[in-house]
Structure 1
Amino acid sequence: MIGLVGIVLIFAMVFGGYLAAGGKMAIILKSLPFELMMIGGAAVGAFLIGNDIGGVKHTLKDIGKVFKGPKWKPEDYKDLLCLLFALIRIARQNPVEVEQHIEDPDGSALFSKYPRIQQDREAIALICDTLRSASMNYDDPHQVEEVLEKRMDANLHHAMHSSHALQTMADGLPALGIVAAVLGVIKTMGSIDQPPEVLGRLIGGALVGTFLGVFLAYGLVGPFAAKVKAVVEEDSHFYQLIREVLVANLHNHAAAICIEVGRQNTPSHCRPDFTDLEEALKSIKQDAA
């Protein structure tokens, strides 16, 4: 919602200020379709050249994050901590039982209690792969932490592709605006024998290209890239929480301590309240009993 408000505000302030200062929209509206075709078309073409089909689809999908915001909400962090607590307790009390959950998370009654987490393939893979490795005696905390760190860095790098692609487009738009403006000047020079009022309109139309390139770069595409980056970084905390709890588990801390390590490493605006989380963990213990 706030993304839509920002877009409306940009257009209202820029064009509202222009009109309030006595500007006329006729020249802009007349030139806009042609300038937009040149600048927008060239930008999209350059984007297609610089990305494969997977990158294009990824970027188009991630534009929705500008309006939707982060995927993971505060209640999801609480659910994740509860899920990890249950898995750690089962793994310590009955290793055979936990294998049933991590080998078939889609059919697991435990995972099905947290459908949003169950539907995220990367979160499930991080949890199951790490617990499975521990059951195979690959349980050195430092080595496991290093492996998880590299894995999450690779995932974050891939997730950042959309932001980089949009930022590259934003960086090129002002130059494409100059290209369109130069073409407009060339057109004007071909009509140099016309009266001043005609030349004025032609020059004004040419300058629309420069305006449009800069406006799109710094008013829309650049902020889109920044927002996508911020959302991706925000969502990455969810996977970092998995790492913190499972590494703490490999250090053989008590299950409650592992969860508290994770809770304190959760971003403050998503961090579950200690008392609320404690009540949720007590419910899990009672259900297990």
Structure 2
Amino acid sequence: MLVIIGFIVVSFSVFGGFVIAGGHLAALFQPVELLMIGGAAAGALVAGNTIKALKATGAAVPTLFQGSKYNKELYLDLLLVLYAIFTKIRNEGMKNIEEDIEEPEKSKIFLRYPRILASHHHVEFICDYLRLMVSGTMDPFQIENLMDVEIETHHHEGEVPVHVFAKMADAMPAFGIVAAVMGVVHTMGSVGLPPAELGILIAHALVGTFLGILLSYGFVAPLANLLESKLHDSTKSFECMKVAILANMNGFPPAVAVEFGRKVLYSTERPGFKELEDQVKATKVDYAEKPKEAAKAAA
């Protein structure tokens, strides 16, 4: 929604200012110039990227027109999922978590938090490292290193569409100049026309430069910035899970482990201490209602 609002503001500011200054919008409507700039940009996009990059870019486009899912509610659910898992491990033992991580879509813990269950990457991250914890063959330092590598890989993959849009934005002013030069060539080839007609041809040529710069800095470059911002939010959620899981591995109680994860989050989306504490207490009540014999049997 904000993307559309931003585009409307850019358009009204530029074209509205042109009209206020006495210009005629019809003079700016040059489909051929748009064809040259857009076609050259599309061709360069295909020639300069792999199928993998093009698919990633295509998949990222719809997310540009959606609000960020990384809000306080999602992070709160993420912390509560981790708390519930850590509590079950603490009360019933590490082995009893296997059913939850092998089939998370059937797990009572994950089913309580549909936002997290719907996020494949978050569920996979949690379950993969819990499997390593169950195996007991890796210490916290080794798992931390592996987490860092995975998060870095995730970040690099997310940067692919960012770079595609950024490079396209960098190229569009140049393609605008190409379109303008082609217009000038056409004008020079029509030098025998009356001055009034030559003036129109020159104006049409200059529109190419205008469109290239406007499309670059007014439309494409902001999309690259938005994708980068969304990528940082995604990476931050993985860092939150990493810190909480490592805190649990190092022996901290579940409530303290999720507090470690909470501290990693950006202040604008971070749940408050009291807010998380109240939710944790409610979760404690749920677990307190379970028969204590189950925990003893698991031990």
Q: TM-score, normalised by structure 2?
A: 0.92
The alpha carbon displacement at 1:199 in A equals: 0.7
Residue correspondence of structure 1 range 109-258 to structure 2 within 5 A:
109-258=108-257
The alpha carbon displacement at 1:213 in A equals: 0.6
Structure-2 residue corresponding to 1:6: 6
Contact 2:77 2:115 (8 Å CA) reproduced: no
Matched letter for residue 13 of structure 2: M
Matched letter for residue 8 of structure 1: I
Contact 2:95 2:134 (8 Å CA) reproduced: no
Q: Deviations over 1:1-41 (max 9, x none)?
A: 22211111101010111111111223222xx2100111101
Contact 1:65 1:231 (8 Å CA) reproduced: no
The alpha carbon displacement at 1:100 in A equals: 0.9
Contact 2:177 2:209 (8 Å CA) reproduced: yes
3-state SS of paired residue (2:108): coil
Distance 2:189 2:67 in 1: 49
The alpha carbon displacement at 1:109 in A equals: 1.4
Structure-1 residue corresponding to 2:60: 62
Distance 1:273 1:221 in 2: 36
The aligned length equals 287
3-state SS of paired residue (2:65): helix
3-state SS of paired residue (1:160): helix
The alpha carbon displacement at 1:278 in A equals: 1.3
Matched letter for residue 83 of structure 1: V
Structure-2 residue corresponding to 1:44: 42
Q: Deviations over 1:38-93 (max 9, x none)?
A: 11011011111222333223213322333323222211111111110111111222
The alpha carbon displacement at 1:224 in A equals: 0.8
Contact 1:70 1:232 (8 Å CA) reproduced: no
Structure-2 residue corresponding to 1:75: 73
Distance 1:83 1:25 in 2: 56
Please, which moves more after superposition, 182-191 or 65-74? 65-74
CA RMSD, aligned part only?
1.3
The alpha carbon displacement at 1:196 in A equals: 0.9
Please, which moves more after superposition, 9-18 or 61-70? 61-70
Distance 1:129 1:221 in 2: 37
Structure-1 residue corresponding to 2:17: 17
Structure-2 residue corresponding to 1:269: 268
Matched letter for residue 213 of structure 2: V
Consecutive unaligned residues of structure 1, counting only runs of 5 or more, are: none
Distance 1:69 1:62 in 2: 13
Contact 1:178 1:210 (8 Å CA) reproduced: yes
3-state SS of paired residue (1:51): coil
Distance 1:191 1:276 in 2: 73
Distance 1:284 1:150 in 2: 32
Contact 2:159 2:231 (8 Å CA) reproduced: yes
Structure-1 residue corresponding to 2:259: 260
CA 81–120 in structure 1, closer or farther in 2 if over 3 Å, else same: same
The alpha carbon displacement at 1:139 in A equals: 4.0
Contact 1:169 1:221 (8 Å CA) reproduced: yes
3-state SS of paired residue (1:269): coil
Distance 1:236 1:158 in 2: 11
Matched letter for residue 17 of structure 2: G
Structure-1 residue corresponding to 2:86: 88
Matched letter for residue 23 of structure 1: G
Contact 1:38 1:180 (8 Å CA) reproduced: yes
What is the percent sequence identity of the aligned residues? 39
The alpha carbon displacement at 1:205 in A equals: 0.5
Contact 1:70 1:235 (8 Å CA) reproduced: no
Contact 2:240 2:265 (8 Å CA) reproduced: yes
